């Protein structure tokens, strides 16, 4: 591997020019869902892989045009060729999931096949009575949610925070991402891993997922707390910031409702679009409600202030980040806003300042962006050569009738590892 191919993790905003992103193209693991196990897999419906895969190809095709993309399966296959990494990673996974009986068999697999099985699942071998009568289909279950690469790891500055997943069915995603960031020769970073006995002991109830974690500026984090990221998870992040004893750092916290399930993460109701624009689900982010917005200031290893703010855009403005809140679902009525938010209408991914990707199905949201000066570019036209990325603001629209039913959008499906700094 050439030294000049190395990529140094550095993410200091949600909208700086994208220079590297990790994705996972959905595969057979999506087809292994049934109506019975979908809820256990954290889905409210089962997906059609052929349709979802076709839609995903537009998303990845756009990313390939604008940045370097890395597939989880390829990165995992690379590190599994390192004997020491292969042994330790398999041992950790098998011990975590009570499957040490298959450890010797997995050790015999070549790296690409093993990477596939660790993502798509390892079928249960029915070679004794207990296994023959078992209702389980797998010794290691498929990672149905891995197409949402955002959640299991988060870039902040030159470091990567590993996710502490709220549900055990996603734990292996965090184990794999930690192994990639600590062992892959292509990636240069330091990791912070909350999945240790000490962290779990010191922060009982800890959970942290990337859908709740946004980088407003080098000194500003915006974090949601709800069913996927606990207050203890945010306290863990807070302790890590305090330990650095650096200058003034700001953490803005947004409380989220437990229901409906479309409010699962902060990025389902709030995303950055540009240096001066954000997408909001107005009833929660701008409206009067019981969900707190809290500003924590940390300086030189100490919390110097915690106080409530009116809302996220107001709190950001107080820090010199003046955002024009654009409404998910447009300004027509609350019903339209609710419908489009349900299908990830607020979940946009910026690949450069003022250049974003989102689902074409959310027509009122797209129209609202257009009225705010974002040129609408269908991904089909971009990839067929009918048009190019314009110099000004734009929204690249991708098909998402099937993907959206998985419960996430463009931001959920992308994990940036490097962005240019923004003045």
Q: How confident is the model at residue 35 (pLDDT cuts 50, 70, 90)?
A: low
Give the mean model confidence (pLDDT) for residues 102-123.
Answer: 97
pTM greater than 0.85? yes
Which range (113-122, 129-138, 262-271, 296-305) has the least confidence? 129-138
Q: How many C-alpha atoms does 183 have within 13 Å on its Cβ side?
A: 21
Look up the domain containing 363 and give its range.
3-419
Residue located via tokens 């600590």: 182
The owner of tokens 């010797």 is 104
pLDDT surpassing 70 at residue 166: yes
Average pLDDT over residues 77-87: 98
Q: Which residue has the higher pLDDT, 131 or 294?
A: 294
The larger pLDDT score, comparing residue 115 to residue 31, is at 115
Q: What is the pLDDT of residue 154?
A: 98
Looking at residue 40, its pLDDT comes to 53
Percent of the chain with pLDDT over 90: 86
Q: Residue 28 has which token pair? A: 């057979």
Rounded Cα distance, 402 and 261, in Å: 17
Indicate if the pLDDT at residue 1 is higher than 50. Answer: no
pLDDT at position 34 is: 72
**Tally of structural domains, the chain:** 1
Q: 3-state secondary structure string, the chain?
A: CCHHHCEECEECCCCCCEEEEEECCCCHHHHCCCCCCCCCCCCCCCCCHHHHHHHHHHHHHHHHHHCCEEEHHHHHHHHHCCHHHHHHHHHHHHHHCCCHHHHHHHHCCCHHHHHHHHHHCEECCCCCHHHHHCCCCEEECCCCCCCCCCCCEEEEECEEEECECCCHHHHHHHHHHHHHHHHCCCEECEEECCCCHHHHHHCCCCCECHHHEEEEECCEEEEEECCCCCHHHHHHHHHHHHHHCCCCEEEEEEECCCCCHHHCCHHHCEEEEECCEEEECHHHHCCCCCCCEEEEEEECCEEEEEEEECCHHHHHHHCCCCCEEEECCCCCCHHHHHHHHHCCCCCCEEEECCEEEEECCCHHHHHHHHHCCCEEEEHHHHHHCCCCCCCCCEEEEECCCCHHHHCCCCCCCCEEEEECCCC
Neighbours of 45 (CB within 10 A): 12
CA distance 20 to 11: 10
Distances (CA, A) of 113 to 46, 78, 87, 254: 25, 12, 15, 42
At residue 144 the predicted structure's pLDDT band, cuts being 50, 70 and 90, is very high
Q: In whole numbers, what is the pLDDT of the chain averaged over residues?
A: 94
Mean pLDDT of 392-407: 93
Please list, in sequence order, all residues whose beta carbon lies within 8 angstroms of the beta carbon of residue 272, skipping any fewer than 6 positions away: 13, 14, 15, 214, 216, 278, 323, 350
* 411 half-sphere exposure, CB direction, 13 A CA radius: 30
Chain centroid offset of residue 344 CA: 13
What CATH number does the domain containing 55 carry?
A: 3.75.10.10
Residue of higher predicted confidence among 79 and 245: 79
Question: What integer pLDDT is reported at residue 39 of this predicted model?
Answer: 55
CA–CA distance, 294 with 255 (Å, rounded to integer)? 8
269-322 tens-digit pLDDT: 999 999 999 999 999 999 778 899 999 999 999 999 999 999 999 999 999 999
């Amino acid at each position: 591997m050439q030294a000049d191919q190395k990529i140094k993790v550095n993410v200091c905003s949600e909208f700086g020019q994208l220079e590297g992103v990790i994705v996972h193209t959905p595969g057979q693991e999506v087809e292994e869902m049934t109506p019975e196990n979908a809820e256990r897999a954290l889905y409210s419906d089962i997906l059609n892989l052929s349709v979802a895969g076709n839609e995903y190809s537009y998303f990845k095709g756009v990313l390939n045009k604008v940045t370097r993309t890395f597939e989880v399966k390829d990165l995992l296959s690379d590190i599994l060729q390192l004997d020491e990494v292969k042994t330790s990673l398999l041992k950790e996974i098998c011990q975590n999931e009570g499957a040490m009986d298959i450890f010797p068999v997995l050790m015999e697999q070549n790296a690409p096949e093993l990477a596939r099985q660790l993502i798509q699942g390892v079928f249960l071998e029915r070679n004794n009575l207990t296994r023959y009568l078992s209702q389980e289909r797998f010794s290691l279950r498929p990672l149905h949610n891995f197409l949402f690469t955002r959640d299991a790891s988060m870039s902040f500055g030159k470091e990567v925070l590993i996710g502490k997943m709220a549900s055990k069915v996603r734990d292996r995603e965090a184990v794999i991402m930690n192994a990639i960031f600590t062992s892959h020769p292509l990636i240069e970073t330091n990791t912070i891993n909350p999945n240790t006995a000490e962290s779990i002991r010191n922060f009982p109830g800890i959970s942290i997922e990337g859908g709740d974690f946004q980088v407003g500026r080098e000194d500003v984090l915006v974090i949601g707390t709800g069913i996927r990221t606990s207050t203890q998870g945010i306290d863990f992040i807070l302790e890590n910031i305090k330990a650095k004893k650096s200058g003034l750092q700001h953490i803005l916290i947004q409380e989220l409702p437990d229901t409906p399930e479309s409010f699962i993460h902060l990025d389902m109701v709030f995303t950055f679009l540009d240096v001066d624009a954000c997408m909001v689900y107005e009833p929660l982010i701008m409206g009067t409600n019981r969900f707190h917005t809290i500003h924590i200031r940390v300086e030189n290893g100490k919390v110097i202030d915690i106080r409530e703010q009116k809302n996220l855009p107001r709190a950001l403005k107080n820090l010199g980040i003046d955002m024009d809140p654009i409404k998910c679902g447009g300004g027509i009525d609350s019903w339209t806003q609710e419908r489009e938010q349900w299908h990830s209408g607020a979940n946009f991914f910026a690949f450069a300042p003022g250049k974003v990707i989102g689902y074409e199905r959310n027509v009122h949201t797209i129209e609202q962006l257009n009225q705010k000066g974002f040129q609408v570019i269908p991904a089909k036209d971009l990839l067929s050569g009918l048009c190019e990325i314009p110099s000004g603001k734009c929204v690249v629209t991708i098909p998402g009738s099937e993907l959206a039913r998985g419960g996430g959008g463009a931001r959920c499906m992308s994990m940036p590892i490097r962005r240019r700094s923004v003045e």
